[in-house]
Amino acid sequence: MKVVIIEDEPPAREKLAKFIGRYDRKIEITAQIESVRDTIDFLDKSPLPDLIFADIELLDGNVFRVFEDCKITCPIIFTTAYDQFLLQAFEQNGIAYLLKPFDFQKFTVAMQKFETLRNNFAPANNDFWHEIQTNFYQPKYKERFVIKTPKGIQLLETKQIAFIQMQNEIPFAFDATGNKFPLNDSLTMLEKLLDSKQFFRLNRSEIVNLNFIENLKPDFQDRLVVSLRNLKVKLVSSINRTPELRKWLENQ
């Protein structure tokens, strides 16, 4: 089992690492990260762990900024000195909320909750958080966007979108002819609004429509280069998203 610790206070990191080793010496801590920026960089280049321990207020801001740039499907145990983020934590894959200073007994309760969820939902591959979410709700996906232009209001059907790409911190939807349209929602919100059977987030800045993919070719570090029909565009999947992309393509 592999875990990642996101914590900017050295004493808190050491205590958490000590608790992890005390609980189970077989658990591997693959990374200890101090900032939002380094967390985003790590998740963009590395496979997701089985579990994340995350403080909330970090050196360069709030950890919830990470969720705006990265798709995280593994569960998270939040460790923080603040209680006002409780609801927000459970909206972002949180399965436990440990208020500092917490002892080993409370840490153990959180770990036992993690193990119970893992064993009950998906013991074969540990990808249980997706199954938890799937079992609790069936979302209604967006069918069209209202685009405001200098010439008036235009309706853009989601099925016409070939891909979405961030440019200067603004998400643009591109259609089959290469025309682009600015969207108001963040990329993370768009990922939730669009049908996951049709759209896939390749990396921090791009979402692709399955129906427009022409071919995929291997790239360095097991990434995939995605070519689109009738468009001179090549998109590249991030390392941590590539395994899920392969699985997504096989299941469609």
From residue 75, how far is each of 92, 109, 135, 149, 169 by CA, in Å?
9, 15, 16, 41, 28
Average pLDDT, the chain: 87
More confident residue, 22 or 140: 22
Report pLDDT digits (tens) over 127-146.
555 555 555 445 568 889 98
More confident residue, 22 or 251: 22
Q: What is the CATH number of domain 2-136?
A: 3.40.50.2300
Q: Give the pLDDT band of residue 174 (cuts 50, 70, 90).
A: very high
Spatial CA neighbour of 48 closest among 76, 17, 80:
76
Q: What is the pLDDT of residue 131?
A: 56
Backbone angles phi, psi at 74, to 5 degrees: -90, 160
Q: What is the pLDDT of residue 128?
A: 53
Q: What is the pLDDT of residue 235?
A: 94
Q: Cβ(215)–Cβ(22) under 8 Å?
A: no
Whether 144-251 and 2-136 are alike in CATH topology: the answer is: no
More confident residue, 18 or 239: 18
Start-to-end CA span in the chain (Å): 29
**Residue ranges of the domains in the chain?**
2-136, 144-251
pTM above 0.95, yes or no: no
In sequence order, what are the beta bridge partners of 228? 213
Q: Cβ(176)–Cβ(129) under 8 Å?
A: no
Whether 171 has a pLDDT exceeding 70, the answer reads: yes
When pLDDT is averaged across residues 159-165 and rounded to a whole number, the result is 95
When pLDDT is averaged across residues 30-34 and rounded to a whole number, the result is 96
CA distance 81 to 99: 5
Q: Which token pair is 193?
A: 């609004």
- CATH architecture of the domain 144-251 equals Beta Barrel (2.40)
CA distance 141 to 192: 8
Report pLDDT digits (tens) over 66-98.
887 787 889 999 999 888 888 888 878 899 999
Q: What is the pLDDT of residue 125?
A: 47
Whether 12 has a pLDDT exceeding 70, the answer reads: yes
Q: Give the pLDDT band of residue 121 (cuts 50, 70, 90).
A: low
Q: What is the pLDDT of residue 126?
A: 46
User: Cβ–Cβ contacts within 10 Å for residue 210, how many?
Assistant: 13
Q: What is the pLDDT of residue 123?
A: 44
